[in-house]
Amino acid sequence: MKPGMKHGVFRPLSGRSRQGAGLWVIAACLWLGLAGCDGGENEAFSLGYAAYQQGDFTAAMEVWKPLAEAGDARAQYNLGMLYSEGRGVARDAAQAMQLWRKAADQGHLRARHNLALALIAGEGAAQDYPAAIAELKITAAAGFANSQYSLGKMLLEGLGETRDVAAGMNYITMAAEQGFAKAQYSLGKAYRDGEVVAQNDESAVRWFRKAAGRGHIGAQRHLAFRLSEGKGVARDEVAALKWALIAANQGVADAAQLVASLSRNLPPEQIARAEMEASAFRPE
């Protein structure tokens, strides 16, 4: 069962499996969460959202179900989320897909994105990469960064279409340029490895820095080590310690080791500055 989310928060599915490449793509993709209130909905919809926020999923279901049956795309989407998560109702992936399809047919892009990911995972319907690609192309063209990223990953793997590295990297870059941290991190790794783009340590650091600023733990770790080594960037042990502290505080073991190593060599005033900057850090 997938955990619930608040409005506007994207959640990853976990797990990589080489038995089914689609499961890896799901790990790389992100589901969109519940649609909240933005002032454009009716009072009943708002009451349903308030009930959801308070953890009363049954009440939210009772409010949104008649709205969904009357053709309200936002209610159809949110009702689909309740069925998908098994909140206020028995989990039913097929019913979630049906509701997302109805909302998508009315132009609801968030519903179309989740529908695509369900098709990749084979949740609620048979796994269908080409159909997922078709859905993602619509949402990617509309500017959804997580759809651009998901589509890019599929094209890089050759899932649903012939493998197209250039197109895949183009979609991931579009997502990264919108500030999508997972895409920025992926670009950092691509430039680090030099397998699908020309290897470039400076570009790797640039994208790791962007993703780190948005709170990506892996990027924060990579940035810390590169700053400590001067790889692709001028060596800066104070900045390295800052990022190592941020990553270590989130449970990254080798970042904690880097903190210890840097702290042995830096004077107390520089350690204090790094600690102050790490404590003040807030993701963009």
* Percent of the chain's residues with pLDDT above 90: 82
Question: Do residues 103 and 83 touch, judged by C-beta distance below 8 A?
Answer: no
Report all structural domains of the chain as residue ranges with CATH numbers, in order of start. Answer: 1-178 (1.25.40.10), 181-284 (1.25.40.10)
Q: State yes or no: pLDDT of 21 exceeds 90.
A: no
Residues 154, 75: Cα–Cα separation, whole Å: 30
- Answer whether 183's CB lies under 8 Å from 156's CB: no
Kindly report, residue by residue over 184-232, the tens digit of the pLDDT: 999 999 999 999 999 999 999 999 999 999 999 999 999 999 999 999 9
C-alpha neighbours within 13 Å on the C-beta side of residue 213: 11
Helix (H, G, I), strand (E, B) or coil at 236: coil
In angstroms, the first-to-last Cα distance of the chain is 30
Statement: residue 32 has pLDDT above 70: no
Q: Is the pLDDT of residue 27 over 50?
A: no
Taking the whole predicted model, whether its pTM rises above 0.75 is answered as yes
Contact (Cβ atoms closer than 8 angstroms) between residue 30 and residue 182: yes
pLDDT above 70 coverage of the chain, percent: 86
Average of per-residue pLDDT across 157-169 = 95
Banded model confidence at residue 34, pLDDT cuts 50, 70, 90: low
Looking at residue 5, what is its pLDDT?
31
- Bridge-partner residues for 30, per DSSP? 12
Has residue 256 got a pLDDT over 60?
Answer: yes
